[in-house]
Amino acid sequence: MSARAFPSRRGQVRAFTLIELLVVVAIIALLIAILLPSLKKARDQAKNTVCKTNLHALGVAIHTYASDNRDHIPWIPGNPVIQGGQIVGYNFPFRQYHQIIRLFKYCPNLKTFICPMANSGGTKGRVPSLTGPRTVKGYAEGVAMPGLPGPISYYTVVPADSNFDPAQFPGLAPAEIYTEYWFNDWNIGASQPGGLAIPAISGQTLTGIRYSSYAVMLMDAIDWNPRHNGRENICFVDAHVESIKEVNYFDVNGSANYAAAKDKDAFGNRPYWCWGLGENIVGD
């Protein structure tokens, strides 16, 4: 393709030189280089806003669920802890997809359960054995639930679960029904002899959680791989949402130096799943 020509003042035809074309291309490339980071930042900010909106909507849905269920927060079942032939508590792994089963009536759009940042970005494992994608879809916890095949992701619905009713999700395959948010399934110490005297979040009454503005209800599921520029969005029991730096919700150095740990609530409890559950306790 030849360069465009235009008449000069004397009526002669003059073509663009190669240098002029290269200068134009360089200017366009420079403008793109300047604009792309700003566009990405704006796009990420928009996704961050959607994530916060989702979490707030789920927080409100939990309050509505509680008003319909004698003040009880949804219960996320886990592996039964059996002592002396009796169930004394529940432990990891927990069936996180149960939050969808419980709350779909109040949030009938599955997109509400999915962080829009989850499917972008690569991997960044803080702990090698836990290195995984920023999405929970396909991520295997590596522990099988009794009677179910494993390892599987407990953020994706298990069709064999007796609580799963396909009629509740018409036209959707089980693999399409999953959540990118972690529901506080804290049970350790709440029901095991000799454990910490910490009330559970899962299945608790709203009024049973004394400090609702500190207690974590929901957050982005991959806590070791922050989705929002080194931060995670966290929804508290009172349904307000905050964006918190990784070191302030899960300080990996805190286990070696509790006094210097930066992931404590106002009462010194740590990490995030223990926040707001008491005044004189210390978490894991």
pLDDT per position as a tens digit, 237-275: 999 999 999 999 999 888 788 889 999 999 998 889 889
The model carries a pTM of 0.79
pLDDT of residue 128: 37
Residue 85 one-letter amino acid: G
Residue 131: what pLDDT? 44
Nearest by Cα to 283 from 260, 252, 258: 258
At 124 the pLDDT is: 41
Q: How far apart are CA 100 and CA 164, in angstroms?
A: 10
The SS3 call for residue 243 is strand
The per-residue DSSP string of 59-127 comes to: HHHHHHHHHHTTTBPPP--EEEEEETTEEEEEEEEE-TTHHHHHHTTT---GGGGS-TTTTSS----SS
pLDDT digits (tens, 9 = 90+) for 140-151: 554 554 554 445
d(CA 124, CA 136): 14
Low-confidence ranges of the chain (pLDDT < 50): 1, 120-132, 142, 145, 148-150, 191-193
Q: Beta-carbon neighbour count of residue 105 at 10 Å?
A: 12
